[in-house]
Each structure stands twice: as structure tokens, then as C-alpha cells.
Amino acid sequence: MIEKIIIDWLREKLGVPAYLEEPEKPPKEYVIIDKLGSTENDLITSATIVVQSYSVGLCEAAELNAKVKKTMAESVSQGDICRCVCTSDYNYTDTETKRYRYQAVFDIIYYEE
């Protein structure tokens, strides 16, 4: 499952908590991973994954987003992932809760067991 591969990678390399859903008591800085969709062809699967970077301020959220993009680009070194490209990233501040976040969108090609 690509979500498990990504969350384990980010937890190990990023230095901030990573979740698949909003935590009940969120820390000051963390990321949330979500899969938007996937396709499979000849045992090779591709998925679109978003990573939302939350922090205490807009600048800090942007800095965390930059770390996420670098860490995700390095994910190809871990074996199951053969391609990871950030197709878009942008300020995604939650206007309802007034919480600062950035969102990065990744196209990932990986081997499914």
C-alpha cells in the first residue's frame, strides 16, 4: 500500500510527525498524506499523493513543504518507488480553522506487492 510506504518514509526522514488523517490533538508541526487516486498497468502502479504540511506560521509551513518535496524526491532510493515527481505545490491555508498549511501533489510510480 503506497500510503504505508510514504508515511513510513516521511516518518523516518522528515523529523516531524506524519499521519493519514487529522490527529485528535495535532502538534505544532506535522504532515498529512492522502491518496487521490491510482492506476495499474503490467504490475506497475502509479498514484497521485498529496502531502499537506502544517506549521505555526505561513513561512514555517512553506519551509516544511520544501523539506517534504526534497524528502519525497529522495524516496526513489528506498526500493519500491521508481519515480516520484512533484507536479504542484501551493499555499493551502485552512481559512476555516486559520491554520497554516502548504500542499504538494506528487505523481508516484511504484511496485505493488
pLDDT digits (tens, 9 = 90+) for 61-81: 999 999 999 999 999 887 789
Domain of 20, in residue numbers = 2-111
pTM of the model as a whole: 0.92
Cell of 89: 505545490
pLDDT digits (tens, 9 = 90+) for 26-67: 999 999 999 999 998 887 899 999 999 999 999 999 999 999
Confidence of residue 113 (pLDDT cuts 50, 70, 90): low
The answer to whether 52 and 92 have CB atoms below 8 angstroms apart is yes
Q: What is the CATH number of the domain that holds 76?
A: 3.30.2000.30
What is the number of structural domains in the chain? 1
Strand partners, 53: 31, 102
